[in-house]
Chains A and B, each alone.
Chain A
Amino acid sequence: MVEDFLRQSPLSHLGLATHARAEIAADDGVALAERPFRTVITLRGPGGEGAFASAVEQASGLKLPQEVGAITGEAEGRQLLCLGPDEWWLCDGNSDAESLLVALEDELAGQFASAVDTSDNWFALEISGPQATDLLAKACPLDLHPRSFPAGRCARSLLSKAPMTLQKLDESPRFRIHVRRSFADYAWRWLSDAGREYGVSVLSA
């Protein structure tokens, strides 16, 4: 698609690819990776096991999580994040938003619900490494201990002064955060600075 050649990450000015690695360096405590161009569809609708839930399941192939903070699906594939009593994100690392959106619109026809493409409204990056939790704790007031925030959970919070959506992908630990696109540069610079004491590896996107 011609569009793939035209698109640009909000961090393109940092030239991250030039020093990106495949894995975290042995003496670094944290690793940062940008995850641009992910699909994020914001779903609004009534909670519960009714028509909305089955329409979303039909279109996405995923159960609609009912508890705020719960996630269904696979970290690397398609996921549904429950972010509020009537708000979800349908995230996907591969397929394009448009076909998903069409499927959702079809299934949701006639319902009081909303599916809006917000893929470009948000920007994702991942924090991993043995000191990822310590790094994130500098920016986020939530308790990130595995007892309080285990892998497979999500939450809305702050990354210092930027609103964020946070997921813990695994207990290695690895976190994925979404900030609004215009905050990408701030979030990246903030985390790079705060991570200095641990050593920061930049992983390829």
Chain B
Amino acid sequence: MAQSFRLPEGGVIDRSKSLRFSFDGRSYEGHPGDTLASALLANGVHLVGRSFKYHRPRGIFSAGAEEPNALVQLGEDPRTDPNQRATQVELFDGLTAMPQHCWPSLEFDLNETASLASRFLPSGFYYKTFMWPNWKLFEGPIRHAAGLGRAPRLPDPDRYDKTYAHCDLLVVGGGPAGLAAALAAGRRGARVLLVEQDSTLGGHLLSSPDSEIDGQPAAEWVEAARAELESLPEVRVLTRSTCFAYYDHNFLGVLEKVTDHYAPYSRPQHLPRQRMWKVRAAQVVLASGAIERPPVFRDNDRPGIMLASAASAYLRRWGVKPGGRALVLTNNDSGYRAALDLKNAGVDLAAVIDLRLAAEGPLSAQARDEGIPIRSGHAVTGTQGHLRLRKAFVAPMDGEGRRVFGGGEPIECDLLAVSGGWNPTVHLFCQSKGSLEWDEQLACFRPARSMQRNQAVVGGANGTFALGEALREAHAAGLQAAEAAGFAGSGSERQAPRAGGEGDFLPLREIYLVPSIQPVGQGGKHFVDQQHDVAASDLLLALREGYRSIEHVKRYTTTGMATDQGKTSNVNAIGIVAEHLGKPVPEVGVTTFRPPYTAVTFGAFAGRDVDGLLDPERTTPMHGWHQAQGAAFEDVGQWKRAWYYPRPGEDMHTAVAREVKATRDSLGILDATTLGKIEVRGPDAARFLDLVYTNMFSTLKVGRCRYGLMLKEDGMVFDDGVTSRLAEDRFLMTTTTGGAANVLDWLEEWLQTEWPEMKVYLTSVTEQWATMTISGPKAKALLGEVSDLKLDSETFPHMSFAEGRVAGVKARVFRISFTGEMSFEINVPARYGLAVWETLIRAGAKYAITPYGTEAMHVLRAEKGFIIVGQETDGSVTPLDLGMNWIVSKKKPDFLGRRSLFRPDMQKPDRKQLVGIETEDGREVLPEGAQLVESNGAARPPVPMVGHVTSSYWSPNCGKAIALALVKGGQARMGQRLYAPLADRTVACTITEPVFFDKAGERLHG
């Protein structure tokens, strides 16, 4: 299809190449350099979507990030992105886009009837249904009718990158001001990062290529600036990169779209799709420009109505005529730029409607000189045209600008370019908590007081609209930033770039709500927020209903809360509210600016921390062996631990039962590497351990081991493990797998903040050692065969350790047991872990050595009634509750948690206490977490809960189900019956001692 609205020449596009794309199923052509919006307009397509609430036809309104209407669904599943601004989507060959939120078609949308019912759908309608008659009546239809694009249905196939970045100066914005600042600082050698959201540098100069800077045409100056910046080794320029967030201490987020502008099939495979930059900047210069403000008039949302600056941009940057017959509505001199550009491009220009009483300013004068008809003191009172603007009505206003006279003269036009002044793009400045002031002359909010050190706002973003002034301001800010970062000037530096056109920004006429013939709200809509379909009548309704704070008005009407965050609507809403309340605009104030400036896809936040890299998977030296044996793994913190080793045909239950049985019958082997290990050294090591454990360690003899329980200050169990005395002043502490890091932090905290006088050093050696536990009646026999240790109980008794060689490797061996069987915990340096493990497996074959996983370990220890911290304890359990009074020293004057432990409430007999539970039929394994009650289900609720099951297993060695539970006053309830009410039945059970197997503990000694 011909690009019938493409001008024969001009624009920053490559006419030598054509790109095919489709929109709404139809095929079109554009050129490299086009956005989807400019290419659509070149093909005469204005209608691109339907509005959020009323399904009104909407067109392309702007040429940038502020676009409220032209949102499209880009691409196809799984590479589809909703709510993409056609004005910022770079065209590529094969691009496909669909309009959003219309059914059955863009031209004919059944939901447009919502427009007819709009008087019954005022703002706050949604909230009111919560009160009356019933939200549920409306929820379905509203959810169906309202909304924007749709999320992809398939997992995202793209890769995303994240990086940290540091710089002396971050410049946001690659327009003239940003370039001037970056050049000034970059030339001094400062590390400068310049980010520009557009695909190319230049900012608004791209739409006014004939402006002059330093005597050069703007386009040439921009090109020279780009080349110079690229030649500076410490300067990095990022295009297609949006600074979307500005946090405290000059920490900023930048989203770089790395390959979005390639056709999906030609995207370089080695590059990520997008990259998130987390920038720490010593200095920040915000040169984010300004966004034109549209005047609010009746039916101001039709396709064909666009910002005057956008009309100029389409003409000059993209060589596209945005219409055949144009009308311009403005309240300031800058609107005449569009009029002149339209006329020069040969567009039939009907007139400029100037809300000011008299057109003044250099551009106005030039337009008058060129014979453009100007109607000052006039207003556009309404428009017509369903899928495209057809005519506008123009009438003279009274002196106050409150009323219009007459019925309004119809003027045929398919383009209405509008300008209501300019808003500095203060989003990032405000995100960084800077405050604004109202500039009476320019009628806009400008940065007033920065809340970040080392921050400057320059150019349009600072309300410095004249090019020459903006360049000077930016240059000075760049120099100052370089100076502050330690880069002094040489004395022979270049001056600020010079440009004409200073002071040509004349006062505008502040009319936020352009009057129409009928009162506001009747006969048409004055849209304020086009994306959320909020009209002036909605704001007035909110005021009538008593809302006064602009934050409340915003939330009630949802103005400014759409994906564009009110870039073209917020100041108008504030102006209308101010006017209606009879207050000055600054007294109404602004709403809060929050990140992101424009939407950021979740993929970019996730980066590569997904799938296999979501979180570190920590593995032991024997991990590969477990995998080769087909082990199932359990996550314990970040560790992958072998859970059980199913043989062919075995399920978890059978595998675990086999492992448990084999260990008690002959020999089992467990990978216990993940246990935390801390070397505690120093003359005060024993005294320190006496304070952090409930029991005594200073009495422990060298070469012996002792189990210890650690409490928090509240007296609750925090961690446990065996600690061995390696030498007089040297201990090796072990901790639970999950608690290792917390315990080290906890001990360091006490050493560093409470007991700094103690001479103790802690060193984590968790991963220095590969740890394997052999357990069972044959453990001693096996160890005897592979080591040079003397294993008789005199030399190597229970709860002691020895050093020697195991499988030829120097090892520390601890004779300690968590199964109740004779066990040896063999520690070798991690690099030898696999070799030693494999030797044990080989040598143990004659004893049918059976690797057992964490599940079997849990069963084995539960048979013995040994607790697991985090399973039997949950931060509210004391040693007394666990029946472990024996481990709480009565002699020590103090230890962590002691004071809490001996408070009366902690000694109460009705606290939940650890008991054993056996089900009545002996076979039923209760679910862990089951609640326990005293009645069998006949009692009426509420039924008091007396306890809960903490561990529950089938015990092949006992031949019955066993469980541990915390039960109120449990220790005094031995033999009592309790009930576990489950979803479909109630299970009767009996309270027992928590030791089920080898109660005398004889097996420890072989």
Contacts and interface: CB of A to CB of B under 8 A. Distances in A.
Contact of B280 (A3, A37, A143, A186): A143
A185 B619 contact: yes
Nearest to A135: B163
Interface string A1-37: 0110011111011000000000000000000000011
A83 B652 CA distance: 46
B764 interface: yes
B92 interface: no
Interface of B, secondary structure class, is mixed
Scoring A119, A121, A162 by chain B CB atoms within 10 A of each residue's CB, the highest score goes to: A121
B161 A148 contact: no
Nearest to B282: A143
Interface string A137-150: 11011111101100
Contact of B613 (A119, A147, A181, A190): A190
A135 B766 CA distance: 29
Nearest to B258: A197
A6 B832 contact: yes
Given A114-B682, A182-B619, A145 B166 contact: yes
Nearest to A112: B759
B704 interface: no
A121 B166 contact: no
B616 A193 contact: no
A122 B766 CA distance: 10
9 contacts: A3-B832, A6-B832, A117-B768, A120-B768, A121-B765, A121-B830, A145-B166, A180-B618, A193-B608
Contact of B612 (A13, A134, A189): A189
Interface string A30-56: 000000110000101100000000000
B797 interface: no
A204 interface: no
A134 B270 contact: no
B681 interface: yes
B608 A197 contact: no
Interface string B948-988: 00000000000000000000000000000000000000000
B956 to A, nearest CB: 32
A194 B608 contact: yes
B608 A7 contact: no
A134 B275 CA distance: 13
B767 interface: yes
A161 B166 contact: no
A13 B683 contact: no
Interface in A47-98: 86
Q: Closest 3 A-B residue pairs measured CB to CB?
A: A182-B618, A6-B835, A44-B761
B156 interface: no
B768 A138 contact: no
Nearest to A44: B761
In this complex, the interface size class of chain A, counting residues with CB under 8 Å from chain B, is 35 or more
B612 A121 contact: no
A3 B768 contact: no
Nearest to A40: B768
Contacts of A122: 767
Nearest to A12: B624
B621 A8 contact: yes
B162 interface: yes
Contacts of B191: 145, 147
A162 B768 contact: no
B769 interface: yes
Given A6-B808, A114-B682, A138-B164, A186 B616 contact: yes
Contacts of A9: 831
Given A138-B161, A185-B617, A114 B679 contact: yes
A7 B832 contact: yes
Contacts of A113: 761
A180 B270 CA distance: 29
B808 A161 contact: no
A181 B165 CA distance: 28
Contact of B763 (A112, A118, A189): A118
B767 A182 contact: yes
B829 interface: yes
Nearest to B640: A182
B163 A180 contact: no
Contacts of A181: 621, 767, 830
Contact of A116 (B271, B613, B624, B765): B765
A94 to B, nearest CB: 16
Interface of A: 2-3, 6-10, 12-13, 36-37, 42, 44-45, 86, 112-114, 116-122, 134, 137-138, 140-145, 147-148, 160-162, 180-183, 185-186, 189-190, 193-194, 196-197, 199
Contacts of A199: 270
A120 B767 contact: yes
A27 to B, nearest CB: 11
Given A112-B682, A114-B679, A182-B618, 4 more contacts: A7-B835, A118-B763, A189-B613, A197-B272
A2 B679 contact: no
B809 interface: yes
Nearest to B770: A120
Contacts of B683: 112
A116 B763 contact: yes
A116 B679 contact: yes
Interface in B746-786: 759, 761, 763-769
B72 to A, nearest CB: 29
A123 to B, nearest CB: 9
A121 B808 contact: no
A28 B817 CA distance: 53
B808 to A, nearest CB: 5
Contact of A148 (B166, B624, B682): B166
Given A3-B832, A137-B164, A140-B164, A120 B271 contact: no
A8 B217 CA distance: 67
A145 B679 CA distance: 36
B794 to A, nearest CB: 29
Contact of A118 (B624, B768, B832): B768
A114 B763 contact: yes
A190 B621 contact: no
A183 B833 CA distance: 16
Contacts of B679: 114, 116
Contacts of B608: 190, 193-194
Scoring B166, B270, B624 by chain A CB atoms within 10 A of each residue's CB, the highest score goes to: B166
A120 B164 contact: no
A137 B763 contact: no
A143 B833 CA distance: 37
Contact of A143 (B166, B767, B830): B166
Contacts of A45: 761
A120 B769 contact: yes
A97 to B, nearest CB: 9
Nearest to B679: A116
A113 B620 CA distance: 30
Nearest to A148: B166
B609 interface: yes
B615 interface: yes
B164 A194 contact: no
Given A120-B769, A160-B609, A3 B164 contact: no
Contacts of A42: 763
Contacts of B165: 137
Contacts of A114: 679, 681-682, 761, 763
Interface string B988-999: 000000000000
B7 interface: no
B944 to A, nearest CB: 45
Contacts of A197: 161, 270-272
A193 B270 contact: no
Nearest to B622: A8
A6 B806 CA distance: 12
B834 interface: yes
A86 B679 CA distance: 16
Given A3-B809, A112-B759, A143-B166, A196 B270 contact: yes
Contacts of A119: 768, 829
B639 interface: yes
